Amino acid sequence: MSVKFDETLTVECETGNYHTFCPISCVSWLYQKIEDSFFLVVGTKTCGYFLQNALGVMIFAEPRYAMAELEEGDISAQLNDYEGLKRLCIRIRKDRDPSVIIWIGTCTTEIIKMDLEGMAPKLEWEIGIPILVARANGLDYAFTQGEDTVLAAMAHRCPETELPLRERKETIQNVFSFPSREKDGLDEYANHPSLVLFGSLPSNVASQLNLELRHQSIKVSGWLPTQRYTDLPSLGDGVYVCGVNPFLSRTATTLIRREKCELIGAPFPIGPDGTRAWIEKICSVFGVETQGLEEREQQIWESLKDYLDLVRGKSVFFMGDNLLEVSLARFLIKCGMIVHEIGIPYMDKRYQAAELALLRDTCIRMCVPIPRIVEKPDNSNQIRRLRELQPDLAITGMAHANPLEARGISTKWSVEFTFAQIHGFANARDVLELVTRPLRRQRNLEDLGRTTLVRKNTQV
Amino acid sequence: MKLAYWMYAGPAHIGTLRVASSFKNVHAIMHAPLGDDYFNVMRSMLERERDFTAATASIVDRHVLARGSQERVVDNILRKDQEERPDLIILTPTCTSSILQEDLQNFVDRASIISDSNVIFADVDHYQVNEIQAADRTLEQVVRYYLDRSRRQETLDRFVTDVPSVNLIGIFTLGFHNQHDCRELRRLLRDLDIEINQLIPEGGSVEDLKNLPKAWFNFIPYREVGLMTAMYLNKEYGMPYISTTPMGAVDIAECIRQIHKNMDTLGSSLSNKRADYEPYIDAQTRFVSQAAWFSRSIDCQNLTGKETVVFGDATHAASITKILSREMGIRVSCAGTFCKHDAEWFKEQIQGFCDEILITDNHAEVGDMIARVEPSAIFGTQMERHIGKRLDIPCGVISAPVHIQNFPLGYRPFLGYEGTNQIADLVYNSFALGMEEHLLDIFGGHDTKEIMTKFLSTNIGLIWNPESRLELGKIPRFVREKVEKNTEKFARQKGIQTITVEVMYAAKEVFGT
């Protein structure tokens, strides 16, 4: 992949002393997405306490996840790990009867070198339930990358396509060689190879994206993950895959290398500009001409007018914690905002290449300098930069939000972007709803003149 | 290995961080992987802190795993020293990084030579102690460190203050209603003409710790945190301490009397000025606090013999159990605590105030117990509140672990005389809500129209004559349906076709309603 933006777009790297959620937090949305799954987090009290506090009310709703809490005997290898996990998994099978158990490896299992990958197949055979292993630990990953590790593990369990699709494609083309779009368009799909999208989205957002592609006669054969583990899509040689989230680089690599799929490298469908670019890229790969996409994007931008008036010219600073930052920054620049800094935990320049290119193009088109991208940021340095820049909005984790607000800097909790519906044309408004909320609140309280609420000597 | 998805007390480092970040100008550094610094989120969100939490992580990543932290921890300590100029830096591992068994004490020793701040290593075993115990230990460790240092430097002032004074130990961040309790205790001590020498750790300065021995005695409002410090100060400096929690009118009185006794011993030189607290206790109990009157009022009479379940930390669960049973005449069917390490004390405290004692940190066991007892109300933690929701039993939250709702902006102490009022409200409202729910249930919701028309089209073959229908209408709504059913049952058994007032009363004699 030739990446040419190096002269204009640079990625700095800091110390990595930043705040983010532990990647095991992915169980909170994945157990809800995959209805017949059970997530078993193998870790310590620290992990358990994090989940308990981060997941808040969900914990009381009898979630389909639990901790396999390691005790001193487990750490010092006095107890047999295999027997311990077997006992717990048998109980889970009895109580919940899931179609799959997903073991989440943590920092502790890494440090004590617990061989989860080795034990899983044995136990799977013994108890008769598929067991996946995802090492979503804080030694290697940040927050949303947890989902990446789970999906990468899940990709191995997707059934294989019956016959190599490349051959089948040719056969099909030989038999039905009529032009792709006939009739009234909607019911007919273009003749293209199988397309599987990867990334966990709420089912209604997934159907919205399916529908957008259907408007272009593109058929989505399946999603990774699916609503049920038992319905995983077929993968294999000749299947095209495309990611919907920027943090799925490991899954993408697995799909290319292990499953022999073709990756469509596109910007991510966040914001109307991103959604259009995403659809266009998919269509271009399949040689399908897009229909009415420009008008559709234009319509969406017009419907956002009230919000755009609010954000235009305002500046924003991403402290970085969930890897959505580049896509969001690109969208906000297109909305007329000025982005000072894009902090990001990890930057996969290959997987995000198309997104980075779109960011650069957007900056050029909007006549703004390309913001600095800071990988592995350092929160104390960032707070110093925030103090100098005094942006209109800081997108940050909850550890810093209240202290910054007290110092007169409006903030938006970054975690909300992970849980809100932000993909596709229809949800562009939701992104701006989130971004403008602090600005609107500020406007409502403007006249009270109490923007800094800390004593003088502790101000930023 | 055990299956768990809820814990009552957090991991040890949380306790250390709570103590560290409660002190003024103390910075905590965690030796931890990415994501283990969620303590900052909890503090910023639950306490709605305006300031940045003085806790950062020295990140353990793949490289550290391969090569050890090497200079990293020392560098991070020195960097914080330069940036924030704290008085003290506390280094702590988390559960995870403690397994690495790096010699953190060595890092601390090296860093403390170079840095201007004092640096200590929080000496807690992550697999032996929980959040509460770790907080207790860390507080003692900090106090010991500064007192030992002053002793070496001979800057320790051991003369007690002229006027009676006290150290208030154990109020700190993320504690259940601690801020409000603190204000209430200040008021109580002011009323008793006792000065607060020092309040630690909340808002305390470590540089002032050397003045701790100047107080006449130490006061430990909560059993969980502060007792170790008090025992240390007692052993090394001969300071007496009081650890009776002033929660509920009876225990407040007891606590004040103990204070009195302590002051008598120490203040014998000023014996002519000796205060008499009895009139104060009497006036507060009878007139300032509404709780004593409330227990006599007919409101509280209706609560007599109602069954409840209490669960929480040792301090709150024991105190609430005693209040319910001793001061309100409510029956506590089961009282329990998750402070397993303090089980003996807990059992001794509530002996005779409840039918059954449960010591566990397994929420499922608590849930089973509640389902078995079927109390009219629960007093517990957020977990019990949710168990209550599932079982349709009202719950008052009386102890951590807590929720943002348990950090109210309004004044809600649990301790002291105002605390008795708050507890009375909490208890009464929990039951009143339960009663309301119960009545709504009987009437089938707020819209009771249907019930009014229901008995106009009664069972075939049975006729209510006008008089009996009128009589039925006079019966209070919540038992009317039952009376109606029983009367009809009686009539059918006896082969009576027309229900008269006489039949109704005959039925009542048989069925008791």
**B45 inside 8 A of chain A by CB:** yes
**B6 inside 8 A of chain A by CB:** yes
The reply to whether residue B36 touches residue A53, judged by beta carbons under 8 angstroms, is no
List all residues of chain B from 383 to 422 with a beta carbon under 8 Å from chain A.
383, 386, 389
CB proximity list for B448: less than 8 A, separation 6 or greater: B477
Which residues on A lie below 8 Å from B383 (Cβ)? 60
Give how far B35 is from chain A: nearest CA, Å.
Answer: 4
Which residues on A lie below 8 Å from B35 (Cβ)? 20-25, 50, 138, 142-143
Task: Find out whether A93 and B83 touch, Cβ atoms under 8 Å.
Answer: no
pLDDT tens-digit series, residues B317-369: 999 999 999 999 899 999 999 999 999 999 999 999 999 999 999 998 999 99
Question: B333 — phi, psi (to 5°)?
Answer: -75, -35
Q: What is the DSSP string of B16-39?
A: HHHHHHHSBTEEEEEEE-TTTTTH
pLDDT tens-digit series, residues A64-123: 899 999 988 888 877 789 999 999 999 999 999 999 999 999 999 999 999 999 999 999
Radius of gyration of chain B (CA): 29
How far is Cα B221 from Cα B150, in angstroms, rounded to an integer?
27
**A90 inside 8 A of chain B by CB:** no
Element (H, E) at B111: helix B104-114
The reply to whether residue B35 touches residue A22, judged by beta carbons under 8 angstroms, is yes
How far is Cα A301 from Cα A100, in angstroms, rounded to an integer?
42
The reply to whether residue B3 touches residue A67, judged by beta carbons under 8 angstroms, is yes
Among residues B53, B220, B226, B245, which one has the least CA distance to residue B139? B226
Task: Find out whether A414 and A396 touch, Cβ atoms under 8 Å.
Answer: yes
| Tokens read off for B142 | 């900090």
How far is Cα A150 from Cα A31, in angstroms, rounded to an integer?
11
How far is Cα B199 from Cα B18, in angstroms, rounded to an integer?
15
* In B342-433, beta strands by DSSP E: 356-359, 377-380, 395-397
Q: Residue ranges of the alpha helices (H) in A97-202?
A: 107-111, 116-127, 145-155, 165-175
pLDDT of amino acid A78: 76
The segments of chain A whose pLDDT lies below 70 read 1-8, 56-61, 162-187, 456-460
* In B220-337, beta strands by DSSP E: 241-242, 307-312, 331-337
Among residues B267, B308, B44, B15, which one has the least CA distance to residue B163? B267
Q: For A108, which residue in chain B has the nearest alpha carbon? A: B96
Task: Find out whether A249 and A326 touch, Cβ atoms under 8 Å.
Answer: no
| Active site amino acids of B | 299
The reply to whether residue A66 touches residue B5, judged by beta carbons under 8 angstroms, is yes
| Tokens read off for A41 | 């987090």
- Of the residues A139, A149, A323, the best mutation for testing chain B's interface (the one with the most B CB atoms within 10 Å of its CB) is A139
| From B5, B10, B57, residue closest to A67, measured CB to CB | B5
Give how far A204 is from chain B: nearest CA, Å.
Answer: 29
Give how far A349 is from chain B: nearest CA, Å.
Answer: 21
* In B108-164, beta strands by DSSP E: 118-121
CB proximity list for B254: less than 8 A, separation 6 or greater: B244
pLDDT of amino acid A169: 47
Binding site members of A: 22, 47, 107
| From A67, A399, A453, residue closest to B4, measured CB to CB | A67
List all residues of chain A from 32 to 71 with a beta carbon under 8 Å from chain B.
43-54, 59-60, 63, 65-71
| From B3, B100, B383, residue closest to A66, measured CB to CB | B3
Which residues on B lie below 8 Å from A84 (Cβ)? 1
Count of C-beta atoms within a 10 Å radius of residue A360: 16
How far is Cα A338 from Cα A317, in angstroms, rounded to an integer?
9
**B59 inside 8 A of chain A by CB:** yes
Three-class DSSP category at A323: coil
| Tokens read off for B161 | 């203050």
The reply to whether residue A137 touches residue B33, judged by beta carbons under 8 angstroms, is yes
pLDDT of amino acid B314: 96
Q: What is the DSSP string of A387-434?
A: HHH--SEEEE-HHHHHHHHHBT--EEETHHHHHS--BSSTTHHHHHHH
pLDDT of amino acid A4: 44
**B329 inside 8 A of chain A by CB:** no
Cα A228 vs. chain centroid, distance in angstroms?
Answer: 19
How far is Cα A399 from Cα A54, in angstroms, rounded to an integer?
12
| From B96, B128, B389, residue closest to A111, measured CB to CB | B96
Long-range contacts of B381-387 (CB under 8 A, 24+ apart): B381/B8, B381/B311, B381/B312, B382/B406, B383/A60, B383/B6, B383/B8, B384/B309, B384/B311, B386/A60, B387/B363
Count of C-beta atoms within a 10 Å radius of residue B124: 24
Half-sphere exposure of A64 (CA within 13 A, CB side): 19
How far is Cα B426 from Cα B411, in angstroms, rounded to an integer?
14
Which residues on B lie below 8 Å from A380 (Cβ)? 56, 83
How far is Cα B114 from Cα B112, in angstroms, rounded to an integer?
5
The reply to whether residue A398 touches residue B57, judged by beta carbons under 8 angstroms, is no
The segments of chain B whose pLDDT lies below 50 read 271-272, 448-458
**The one-letter amino acid at B427:** V
Task: Find out whether B425 and B300 touch, Cβ atoms under 8 Å.
Answer: no
How far is Cα B476 from Cα B454, in angstroms, rounded to an integer?
16
Task: Find out whether B285 and B355 touch, Cβ atoms under 8 Å.
Answer: no
Does pTM surpass 0.90?
no
Among residues A306, A289, A295, A241, which one has the least CA distance to residue A272? A295
DSSP B205: B
